[in-house]
Amino acid sequence: MAPRRSHEGLLARVNFPLYSVEMLTSRHVLVAGGGGSSKTGVANGFEIYEIYHNGQHFVAEEIIRHETGANVVMNCAVRSSGNHSYLLAGQESHCQLYHVNVKIDSNENAFENGRIETLKPLLGRKGSSVTFDEQNLRKRKASHDVANHRRFSTTSKNGTADGGYQNETRCLRFEIKAGDLTQTDFSSDGPFQRVVRISLNCKYMATGGTDTHIRIWKFPNMVQIFDIEAHSKEIDDLDFSPNSKQLVSIAKDGLAFVWNVETGKECSKLNWTPPNNTRYLFKRCRFGVFEGKSNQHRLFTIANPLGKVGKQVGYLQEWSPDNGALINSTVIDESLASLAVRDDGRFVATGTMFTGSVSIYISFSLQRVLYIPNAHSMFVTGLEFLPQKDIDGPAITSNTEAAVLSISVDNKICIHSLSYRHKIPAWLAILIIIGALFLTFSLCSYVGL
């Protein structure tokens, strides 16, 4: 099947390089990055955008920006629970915990902070409008204390005596407050946290960095449970399984292991024989559910050749996490930089190193169904699918089968959507079958069979 075309592209542009992207809720995305501690004038921090589909294309609106001073955010992880979300941000050798609270004010409380300006209808709420506090938005806080943004909406409710409608104004407010700051990497030569992950059940977090150790912590109180001497070189990536019982790790030593989260012991090692005696290094790893079943999962990795000059050939691979056996793989004619798996396990996305291209694959066959060449001008640093399941509120509805967000150090947030395949309606298929049978019998009668 030829890859289908994407009709999307640039979603938003920020004024700092982007290194991490996470869905905060079902319709809010968080991007993080920065210019580092050098005095270049490039900010460090993260921004939150609300994404919706207006019937024709995806739209993103900035909700809040939070700057982190001299500390660039190179990696982060998000988990939501009701109206409260946890954000972990890797800042040099430490991991900073942020509490992101969503609060709703109504009526008179919604108008306490300044001028209200109507923007656009809320998706899925007929006859309603969305407004925001422009004055409060301009007073963004760059500290680690509290950052607020108020989004106001006027909704119509059926509740009058004559069965008509009455208006109620509500305010959706984000509060971002810094929590514990914990050192997670202890390398004697430039400690640096490379990756942080939170388990789906919100009981564990895992960190890895330049000191080659994997550390598993209780979450959210960030108490260390295991310190695993996992690799001989720095950790590149980690990921928890959907059932939160396993953790996969890859590193620059070329090895990949699956660990038991409850015991800290090795479960399996990923084994394969690269072609032509070429040495490959795993670049990214992600678990995915199997056909929507949370108790069954599979593992995906991307791998690049080490020290190869000339045309680069990367691999997208599927593994059995229980025994480390390679199940399926596909060749990609470029080095790969990023990887994502949709929450229902149906699609996998990859981003490339040199051309900034993005592809979407069917997970069970690794067949490419969408290819976006040169989506970014530089390598793709992060990918994130729009969720199918409700993280916190209704998921975004659109006329696409799948949509993936991509970020890069070119400061751009892009979205790439996969159009639905055209299907013949059931009634038309039945008519075609009946017609074919009628023509067959007519032909047989005509020739005397």
Phi and psi torsions of 123, nearest 5°: -65, 125
SS3 content of the chain, % helix, strand, coil (to 5): 10, 55, 40
Return the DSSP state at 110: G
Residue 203: inside a domain = no
Q: For residue 306, what are its two tokens?
A: 């080490």
Percent share of the chain, pLDDT over 70: 77
Residue 257 lies in a domain: no
Residue 70 lies in a domain: yes
**Which tens digit of pLDDT belongs to each residue from 24-35?**
888 899 999 998
pLDDT less than 50: residues of the chain: 1-7, 107-108, 110-167
Q: Residue 79: name the closest of 386, 349, 292, 392 by CA.
A: 392
User: Domain of 64: which CATH number?
Assistant: 2.130.10.10
Per-residue pLDDT tens digits for 60-80 = 999 889 998 888 999 999 998
> 43 with 125, same domain?
no
Let me know if residue 189 belongs to a domain: no
Q: Are residues 290 and 362 in the same domain?
A: yes
- The rounded percent of the chain whose pLDDT value lies above 90 is 55
Residue whose pair of structure tokens reads 């963004």 in the numeric block: 140
Rounded Cα distance between 286 and 288, Å, is: 7
> Of 181, 213, 234, which residue constitutes the final position of a domain?
181
Residues 330 and 391 in one domain: yes
Half-sphere exposure of 60 (CA within 13 A, CB side): 22
Is residue 39 in a domain?
Answer: yes
Taking alpha carbons only, the member of 281, 284, 280 closest to residue 300 is 284
Bridge partners, 281 (sequence order): 304
Residue-range definition of the domain harbouring residue 372:
10-91+270-419
**pLDDT computed for residue 118 by the predictor:** 28
110/86 same-domain check = no
CA torsion through residues 396, 24, 361, 334, sign: positive
* H-assigned helices in 388-448: 426-446
Statement to judge: residues 77 and 119 lie in one domain: no
Task: Tell whether pTM > 0.85.
Answer: no
pLDDT at 69: 87
Q: Is 55 helix (H, G, I), strand (E, B) or coil?
A: coil
Contact at 8 Å (CB) between 186 and 94? no
pLDDT of residue 426: 64
Determine, yes or no, domain membership for 447.
Answer: no
CB atoms within 10 A of CB 103: 14
- Asked if residue 151 lies in contact with residue 89, where contact means CB atoms within 8 angstroms, the answer is no
Question: 244 and 203 in contact (C-beta within 8 Å)?
Answer: yes
